[in-house]
Amino acid sequence: SIVRRTSTSGASYVSRRGLSSGSAPERKVAVLGAAGGIGQPLSLLMKLNPLVSRLALYDIAGTPGVAADVSHINTRSEVAGFAGEEQLGQALEGADVVIIPAGVPRKPGMTRDDLFNINAGIVKSLCTAIAKYCPNALVNMISNPVNSTVPIAAEVFKKAGTYDEKRLFGVTTLDVVRAKTFYAGKAKVNVAEVNVPVVGGHAGITILPLFSQATPKANLSDEQIEALTKRTQDGGTEVVEAKAGKGSATLSMAYAGAIFADACLKGLNGVPDVVECSFVQSNVTELPFFASKVRLGKTGVEEVLGLGPLTDYEKKGLEALKPELLSSIEKGIKFANAS
């Protein structure tokens, strides 16, 4: 059965009964960084997705083991592991969706931007290969800082002559997942029914949850909304501190990444009304990239949806995030063009 989604509802092919392929078309998904903290559980979740027919797991090392392990699961997709740069082309060839959780995670005291120096280069080289081997794939960028790695990817694709803004996505689904969880807890509503758009970017104050548009409605006070906003913005740091040097969110991120990739696959397959928040090229504000609700379709982004009505508090948050977000975007563009 096909699950239709009309908003940022997320959830849950994982819990859907029956994992038969039905008449779903052939789809290849590649995970780059598949042996990592996110990559392994994300590979597992993609193996459970009946829309996937081929799953390519790539990392600099360790993927033969992850692939052998995951491949024993009795679901539709054929799994193959690829290790080392010389196998990257094979991993990418024919991919419909490429998910990128490659790169270093934060330790306590670091910002996402502190990861730029290492991850920018990783993303640049992976995107150069994507332009060469699967220029038509939808790219789901997870590697941080997302506010800069997405612009880097865009510049790499532009230089290669393959850029299509409809096919490049910064994955901000974890912000939506968190906003839903925290809102349901405070509003005392069924978490499975909650929808909350989260817009802006994916770092600190650039993460702007729009709780005024949350459903089901609840009568939360201004103080409660501010506390929920702050907790959503600091959700990543909450996990980084709890893991105390052992990395950042991996399991909740794998879940969020699987939800977003599933939405991309549904869009490609022509399922109507697939909407998720994502950091994409955008005209919603004056910034060249911005996260908002996006309708997904057969060629990727079908429509970037507007922000809807904002409260004064949300309007203030929107203005406050623009300078930081713009500077992260420009940093990415500059890096891609300088190196």
Question: Which residues are known binding-site members?
Answer: 33-39, 59, 106, 112, 119, 142-144, 178, 253
Work out whether 142 is an interface residue with ligand NAD (CB under 6 A): yes
CA 321 remoteness from chain centre: 20
Nearest-approach distance from CB 222 to ligand LMR, in angstroms: 25
Work out whether 201 is an interface residue with ligand NAD (CB under 6 A): no
Contact 178, 237 (CB under 8 A): no
End-to-end, the C-alpha distance of the chain in Å comes to 48
Contact 101, 39 (CB under 8 A): yes
Scan residues 192-251 and list those touching ligand LMR (CB under 6 A): 235-236, 239-240, 248-249
Listed ranges 7-15, 32-40, 185-193, 296-304: which one lies at the site for ligand NAD (CB under 6 A): 32-40
Judged by CB, which is closer to ligand NAD: 218, or 324? Answer: 324
DSSP state of 279: E
Nearest one of 73, 46, 105, 88 to 264, comparing CA atoms:
46
Q: How far apart are CA 176 and CA 291, in angstroms?
A: 11
Contact 101, 38 (CB under 8 A): yes
> Inter-axis angle of helices 235-243 and 173-187, to 10 degrees?
90
Angle at 149 between CA 283 and CA 142, to 5 degrees: 100
| Per-residue x/- track, 142-171, ligand LMR (CB under 6 A) | --x---------------------------
Nearest-approach distance from CB 312 to ligand NAD, in angstroms: 28
Work out whether 32 is an interface residue with ligand NAD (CB under 6 A): yes
Q: How far apart are CA 107 and CA 134, in angstroms?
A: 33
DSSP state of 272: S
Work out whether 122 is an interface residue with ligand NAD (CB under 6 A): yes
* Interaction partner, residue 239 (ligand LMR, ligand NAD, none; CB < 5-8 Å by kind): ligand LMR
Work out whether 172 is an interface residue with ligand LMR (CB under 6 A): no
Q: How far apart are CA 137 and CA 114, in angstroms?
A: 29
Judged by CB, which is closer to ligand NAD: 50, or 169? Answer: 169
Contacts to ligand LMR by CB under 6 A: 105-106, 112, 144, 174, 235-236, 239-240, 248-249
Contacts to ligand NAD by CB under 6 A: 32-33, 35-39, 59-60, 101-106, 115, 119, 122, 126, 142-144, 146, 171, 174, 202, 247-250, 253
